Amino acid sequence: MAWFKRDTESDRKPDQDASERTVKTEGLWLKCDGCREIIWKRDLAQTMNMCGKCGFHFRVDARTRLTYLFDGGVFQEHDAELESSDPLKFTDQKAYSSRLKATQAATGMKDALVSGSGTLAGRHLNICAMEPKFIGGSMGSVVGEKITRAIERSIDEKAPVIVVSASGGARMQEGAISLMQMAKISAALMRLDEAGLPYISILTDPTTGGVTASFAMLGDVNIAEPGALIGVAGPRVIEQTIRQKLPEGFQRSEFLLKHGMLDAVVPRNEMKHWIANTLEFFQGPVAQAA
């Protein structure tokens, strides 16, 4: 008798279908946009979603960013119930209200920002992180209100503020109301400055439009992740307008650092330690409990 036996239809159990006999690999691997190597997703989870070969920074969601920064990944979320009322009753390819509901169902979020408070290296602070999967991380009335509330909360608590930007800019479906958030947040940041409290702005890929033109570039310290696209208009729009080819690496974080638009470019796995040192410079060591 042969040491092997061919698996035939008659040998299989009646309830054993093809899906049970197939190893599922779809969605387990990613190709790095930096070095083009294939990476197992589970490995990325161990490296803060950075390529272990070339250091390319994959985009991450807002809640994941907060877990990277807060001690133990633990934070108290604020204003999670806020959502847009669709004040303009805007319709493009579909009604804005329908777009909101579909995106809320897909992301499990009410809008494009998570606001949380907790500790970073033992220091109490407030951090806001934008969610690029929610209508491109666009800034509407809810994003503006949540950031403003986080700033006002920090003033009351005498705590620093950090905003992690990842956005395509102001949300066109809310028109001038979205543009008003630029001034609203900027005014709140002025009050924070008058209170003598630090604001650190972290720019990630991408940070563009009205977000760049307002609070993303107003930090006491402006830092970015490596390779992040940062600008107001996109590079294709600029090239088409000036009819010239842009320099290599234009609008990437390293280019902005070289030309004085950023204070530092910091890898994701060094970000928390870097911020802790910066806040100690601004506020001194964390007071130890008695």
Ramachandran angles phi, psi of 105, nearest 5°:
-70, -35
Nearest to 144 by CA among 180, 100, 94: 180
In this structure, are 52 and 83 located in the same domain? no
Identify the domain containing residue 253 by its residue range: 59-283
The structural domain count of the chain equals 2
Beta strands 199-207 and 76-78 are unpaired
In this structure, are 96 and 52 located in the same domain? no
Residue 102 Cα distances to 90, 240, 247, angstroms: 15, 33, 39
In this structure, are 236 and 116 located in the same domain? yes
In this structure, are 43 and 125 located in the same domain? no
Binning pLDDT at 50, 70 and 90, where does residue 25 land? low
Binning pLDDT at 50, 70 and 90, where does residue 6 land? low
Ramachandran angles phi, psi of 59, nearest 5°:
-70, 145
Give tens-digit pLDDT for 53-112: 999 999 999 999 999 999 999 999 999 999 998 989 999 999 999 999 999 999 999 999
- Residue 26 confidence (pLDDT): 58
Q: Is residue 124 part of a domain?
A: yes
Nearest to 137 by CA among 242, 60, 226, 241: 60
In this structure, are 76 and 186 located in the same domain? yes
Cα–Cα dist 8/21, whole Å = 13
- Residue 287 confidence (pLDDT): 76
In this structure, are 120 and 154 located in the same domain? yes
Ramachandran angles phi, psi of 128, nearest 5°:
-115, 135
Nearest to 177 by CA among 136, 145, 207: 145
The residue-averaged pLDDT of 235-252 equals 93
Q: Is residue 199 part of a domain?
A: yes
In this structure, are 52 and 111 located in the same domain? no
Q: Is residue 15 part of a domain?
A: no
Contacts of 165 by beta carbon, 8 Å cutoff, 6+ apart = 130, 201, 202, 203, 204, 207, 211, 212, 215, 216
In this structure, are 165 and 33 located in the same domain? no
In percent, the amount of the chain with pLDDT more than 90 equals 84
In this structure, are 279 and 148 located in the same domain? yes
